[in-house]
Structure 1
Amino acid sequence: MIKRIWHGWTTPENADAYFRVLTSEVIPGIEAKAIPGYLGIEVLRREVEDEVEFVTIMSFQSLDNIIALQGPDYERCYVPDVAKKVLKRWDLTSQHYEVKHARSYG
């Protein structure tokens, strides 16, 4: 399994608006593509000084699935214009990690 991790930051005033855009437009748009091997997404949020940081963690069966989504330049981030309007700044690339071990409880 591969985890694709990306960070974006916004102002406290725009944090709820970004979360709505992310969960009502961006994520459904990605899921509508029915990408083989896409397993899901997690959204993390935390306040850091004068910003609110969001982290998305997408799960895929393999790197080939991510390449199917993004093409050969698969590290490039995907930030649609609607999200750019409420974000302050964001990572231009995503990081990819192979899951070597995982445990879940509950």
Structure 2
Amino acid sequence: MTVKRVWHGWTTPENADTYEKLLREEVSVGIEAMQISGLRRFEMMRRPLADEVEFVTIMEFDDIDAIKAFVGDDYEKCYVPPAARAVLKRFDELSAHYELLEARTY
């Protein structure tokens, strides 16, 4: 089984580049340093909106147990380090989890 962990955060246009740099250079690097067994992929996305910028992360895990190794038994709770919280305007308090049914590559 593969599980996708999806999370959204929003920041101001003025803080968007700062948050992107933090996400690339600290948050993702910190997660990689945890060497979580069962973590397979970490995707980061960004899109501008009218008055804010939305970021989405999708993490791919082997199963729920691998997610619990990352954040604990309350595996839906978000993982947002203090430095990230400082520049985000708002964010999902809970991450959504989806079982991957099929993936096609063209």
Q: Which amino acid aligns with 1:36?
A: S
The structure in which a higher percent of residues are helix is: 2
Q: 2:43 and 2:27 mapped to 1: Cα distance?
A: 13
1:1-106 paired onto structure 2 within 5 Å: 1-105=2-106
SS in 2 for 1:41: strand
Q: 2:20 and 2:93 mapped to 1: Cα distance?
A: 19
SS in 1 for 2:14: coil
SS in 2 for 1:6: strand
When normalised by structure 2's length, the TM-score is 0.97
Could you tell me which runs of 5 or more consecutive residues in structure 2 were left unpaired when the two chains were aligned: none
Q: 1:103 and 1:45 mapped to 2: Cα distance?
A: 23
How many residues in Structure 1 have an aligned counterpart in Structure 2? 105
1:73-99 deviation line (CA, Å, top 9, x unaligned): 000001001101111000000000000
1:6-32 deviation line (CA, Å, top 9, x unaligned): 000000011010000001000100110
Q: Which amino acid aligns with 2:57?
A: T
When normalised by structure 1's length, the TM-score is 0.97
Q: 2:6 and 2:44 mapped to 1: Cα distance?
A: 10
Q: Which amino acid aligns with 1:95?
A: A
SS in 1 for 2:79: coil
SS in 2 for 1:93: coil
